[in-house]
Amino acid sequence: MGAVQTAIDAVLREAMLFAAIGLLIGGLDDLLVDLLFVVRKLWHRREPGWTVTMLRPERAGRIVVFVPAWDEQAVIGPMLVRALDRYRHPDYRIHVGLYPNDPGTIAAVMAVASRDSRVRAVIGDTPGPTTKAACLNTLWHDLVATSAVASTRAIALHDAEDMVHPDELTVFDALIGDHAVVQLPVMPLVKPGSPFISGHYLDEFAEAHQKQLPVRTFVGAGMPLAGTGCAVAPWIVARLAAMRGGDPFDPASLVEDYELGLRIAELGGRGVFARVMDDHDQPVAVRAYFPATLTAAVRQKARWITGIALAGWDRTGWARPLAVIDHWMRARDRRAPIAVLVLLSAYGAIFAWLASATLHGWTGEATATALADPVRMLLPVNAALLAWRMGMRAAFTGQAAGWRQALWSVPRIVVGNVVLLLAAARAMWRYAGMLRGTALTWDKTAHHFPDADAAVP
C-alpha cells in the first residue's frame, strides 16, 4: 500500500505543478486580451456606434448570398422562405449549392425557387458529400459562368440553418466598398431542452464576437471568418481563384471560413467586424441553433480543432516574420491541444488528490501530501484569474442574452471543457487520418431551424 500511496502522491505533485503553470499562462494570455478590450473601448469612447440608419447606402448594389447545402432538406426550405420574407434590400439573390445525389434538399430548394426567381439552385457535378469549400467553389463557378460577377457588389455567406437579420444586406452593401470582407456577430440560440450543450455556444460566441474579434481587428491582426454572416468583395474572391487555379475556396480545408479570412488579410484586403444596431436597438447579427447533444457538439468542435489547431500549422503557417501580433493571435487559435493537456492535468490532480486523501486517511495520516511551494504560490493567483474569467464570460453572455443566461454561463464553463476534451481526442484521430491521405468529407451535424418566436428581432 505504501508504494501505491507514494506513486499517487508523486503523480499528484507533478500534475498540480504542470496544471498550475499552464493555467497561469492561459489566464494571463486571456487577461491581456481583456486589457486590450478596455483600451479599445477607451480609445473609441467618443465615437458614436454604428446604426443601420447611419450606414444605409444611397444606391443599393446587388448582393449574392451563397448557401452551401448537403442533406439539409429539414431546414433549407424554411430558411429560404424566412430570408425572402425578412430581407429589407432591393437587390439580392440567394444561390444554393446542391449535390446531384441529394434529392431531398434539391426538392426543398426547387419548391421555393419555383415561386421566387431570387432563389437559384446550383447543382454540382460531383456527388456529395465533399467539403463545404468544394460546394462554395461550385457556387463561385456558376456565378462566373453566368457572367454575374461584374454586377455583384458583395458575396455573402450563410449556412442552411441560419436566421438572417432583415438589415444585414444593407450593412454589407454599405461597408463592402471600403473593406474586402465584413463579418457580423453570430449569436447562437439556446435550444429548449439543452441549456448546457447548446447554451455553451452562446457563451463562447458572446465573448468571441463581442471582445476577441474586435480586439483582433483593433490590433491589426488578420480576422478569421465565422463562415456565416459575412460578406466578401468579388474582386478579392476572383484574386484568390486566380491564385488557386480557379477555386477561391480550398477544397482540402475543413475550416475554409477561418482560412479565407487570414488569406484575405495576407493579400492586403481590409476586414471589419461590424457591430451595428438596428432600429430596435438590437445588433444586426446571425442567429441559429448550434448542436444540442454532446455527440453533435463533439463532432463539430473536433472539425474546428482539426482544421485550425492541428492542420492549421502546415496549411496557414505563420504570418510574416515581424508580425508579432498576428503570431500571437494564431498561437491563441492553435492552443486547444495544449489547453487539453492542461485540463487533463488539472482534473487528474483533483482525482489524484481525492485518492491520496483517502489513502492517507486509511493509513492513519491526518492530511494528504503538502502542496509544493510553487503550487501554493500559484493557487491564489490562478483562483483570481479564474474568477475574473468567469466574471468576463458572464458579463458578455449577459450583454448578449440577459442575466439569466449570464448565470448559466458559469457552470457551462465545465461543460465546454468536457466537450473540448472529447473533441480533442476525435480531432487527433481525424488528423491522423488526414496525414494518411484519407479523403475529406463534410462532417456536418443535423440542423434545426428556429421557430418564428425563437429569434429576435
Could you tell me if 394 and 407 are in contact, meaning their C-beta atoms sit under 8 angstroms apart?
yes
Residue 155 falls inside a structural domain: yes
Could you tell me if 153 and 173 are in contact, meaning their C-beta atoms sit under 8 angstroms apart?
yes
Selection from 304, 263, 288, 251 nearest residue 139 by Cα = 251
Distance of alpha carbon 254 from alpha carbon 238, whole angstroms? 21
Compute CA 383 distance to the chain's CA centroid, rounded to the nearest angstrom. Answer: 27
So what's the pLDDT on residue 453? 47
Beta bridge partners of 63: 92, 154
Whichever domain contains 215, its CATH number is: 3.90.550.10
The string over 80-109, giving b where at least 16 C-beta atoms fall within 10 Å of a residue's C-beta and e elsewhere, is: bbbbbeebebebbbbbbbbbeebeebbebb
Residue 8 falls inside a structural domain: no
Selection from 30, 34, 18 nearest residue 340 by Cα = 18
Residue 355 falls inside a structural domain: no
Selection from 117, 60, 47, 68 nearest residue 89 by Cα = 60
Tens of each residue's pLDDT in the chain, 457 residues: 556 666 666 677 778 888 889 999 999 999 999 999 999 998 887 767 889 988 877 778 999 999 999 999 999 999 999 999 999 999 999 999 999 999 999 999 999 999 999 999 999 999 988 989 999 999 999 999 999 899 999 999 999 999 999 999 999 999 998 899 999 999 999 999 999 999 999 999 999 999 999 999 999 888 999 989 999 999 999 999 999 899 999 988 888 889 899 999 989 899 999 999 999 899 999 999 999 999 999 999 998 898 888 887 777 878 778 788 998 999 999 898 899 889 888 888 777 777 766 766 666 554 555 566 777 888 899 999 999 999 999 999 999 999 999 999 999 999 999 999 999 999 998 888 878 777 767 667 777 888 654 555 5
Report the interhelical angle of 336-362 vs 403-435 (nearest 10°).
110
Residue 393 falls inside a structural domain: no
In the structure grid, which three cell numbers stand for residue 445, read together? 451535424
Backbone angles phi, psi at 158, to 5 degrees: -140, 160
Which structural domain range is residue 235 located in? 50-290
Beta bridge partners of 232: 155, 181
Distance of alpha carbon 262 from alpha carbon 181, whole angstroms? 11
If one counts the domains in the chain, the total is: 1
So what's the pLDDT on residue 434? 79
Backbone angles phi, psi at 82, to 5 degrees: -65, -40
So what's the pLDDT on residue 113? 97
So what's the pLDDT on residue 14? 77
Taken in order 184, 62, 236, 315, the sign of the CA dihedral is positive
166 contact partners, CB below 8 Å, separation of at least 6: 86, 87, 88, 278, 457
Residue 81 falls inside a structural domain: yes
Could you tell me if 74 and 446 are in contact, meaning their C-beta atoms sit under 8 angstroms apart?
yes
Residue 64 falls inside a structural domain: yes
Q: Which amino acid is at 372?
A: A
Could you tell me if 382 and 56 are in contact, meaning their C-beta atoms sit under 8 angstroms apart?
no
Q: What is the CA radius of gyration of the chain?
A: 24
